[in-house]
Structures are given as C-alpha cells and as structure tokens.
C-alpha cells in the first residue's frame, strides 16, 4: 500500500522544480510512490508542471508511470491535456498505458483530442490508442473535438480512422 503523506518533502522539491533536491531525497530513500490527498504521486506532479528532467529521474528511479490519482487520471492523461509532447514521448517510451481510463471513462487520447494537440493524437494512435473508446457519456475523441469546435482535429481523427481501416 502506498504511503499517504501530502507533506512529504519530495512534493515540495517537485513543486519547486528542484532537480538536485529530488535526486538528494531519492538517494536518502524518500518514497517516490507517496501520494497526496488528490492521489497524486511526485511523478504526476512533475508531469503536471511539465518538468521532463524530474519526470525522467522519477521514472528511472522506479516511479509507477501508470499510477492513477483519486479521479483515475494518469501522468499521461495530464500531459495530453496540457500538450507536453516531450513528456508524452518519454512516458510512452517508459511504458505508459494508452488504454487506461479515468473515473469518467476518459483516456489520454480523449484529452489530447479535446484540447487540440494533433501531434500527441498521432503519437497515441501510433502507440495503439483507440479512436473509438467512449467515456461515460458515450463520447469518443472525435465527438469531444467536435464539441470544442476543432474541425482540424475532427478531420485528423477521420483520416487516422481511415488509415487504420486500410
């Protein structure tokens, strides 16, 4: 079971984007799987802040790339929402699961599509993400893009779907 300690020093070091302090805490045996009251781990927090160096350090130190927070969101979902392509690439390289769903049935691909991150959508699909997964409202990534009025994303998803059918 993971340790719940929102005041763990590693959270402050990650928030301050202090790579050397994070390294020091890991070397001192700090629990990198500690979770705060939102279910965030230091890895989820590092990715949320867009810090690729700390993200890589935590993953290489054994952080769970597929940990789901209290809402079921993963680090991958967060960076797909925010559009941090280099961190998406890193997480995928390190084994992030493109098929995980949050409590609302949302996926990393759904977040990328909804917020118009075309390069991330292409990358996720190349890693096996489904264009057809539905959330709890029955919405697919293409529906979410359309709801946002993003016609370029709708067109991209249609093209990706056609490519998969060939």
pLDDT for the residue numbered 149: 96
pLDDT for the residue numbered 6: 65
Name which CATH class applies to 86-166: mainly alpha
Taking residue 18's Cβ as centre, other Cβ atoms within 10 Å add up to 15
Q: Residue ranges of the domains in the chain?
A: 1-64, 86-166
Percentage of the chain lying above the pLDDT 70 cut: 98
User: Phi/psi class of residue 17: alpha, beta or left (left: φ > 0; alpha: ψ in -120 to 50)?
Assistant: left
Q: What is the pLDDT of residues 47-67, one digit of tens each?
A: 999 999 999 999 999 999 999
Structure tokens at 76: 């991958």
Q: What is the pLDDT of residues 106-118, one digit of tens each?
A: 999 999 999 999 9
Q: What is the pLDDT of residues 112-143, one digit of tens each?
A: 999 999 999 999 999 999 999 999 999 999 99
The CATH code of domain 1-64 reads: 1.25.40.20
Q: Do domains 1-64 and 86-166 have the same CATH topology?
A: yes
Query: How far is Cα 34 from Cα 1, in angstroms, rounded to an integer?
Result: 10
């Amino acid at each position: 079971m993971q340790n719940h300690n929102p005041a763990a020093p590693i959270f402050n070091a990650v928030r301050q984007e202090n790579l050397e302090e994070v390294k020091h805490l890991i070397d001192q045996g700090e629990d990198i799987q500690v979770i705060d009251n939102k279910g965030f781990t230091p890895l989820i927090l590092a990715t949320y802040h867009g810090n690729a160096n700390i993200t890589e350090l935590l993953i290489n130190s054994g952080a769970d790339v597929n940990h789901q927070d209290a809402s079921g969101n993963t680090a991958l979902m967060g960076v797909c929402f925010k559009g941090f392509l280099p961190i998406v690439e890193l997480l995928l390289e390190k084994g992030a699961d493109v098929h995980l769903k949050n409590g609302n049935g949302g996926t990393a691909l759904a977040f990328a599509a909804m917020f118009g991150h075309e390069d991330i959508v292409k990358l996720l699909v190349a890693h096996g993400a489904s264009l057809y997964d539905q959330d709890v409202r029955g919405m697919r990534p293409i529906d979410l893009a359309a709801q946002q009025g993003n016609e370029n994303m709708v067109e991209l998803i249609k093209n990706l779907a056609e490519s998969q059918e060939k």
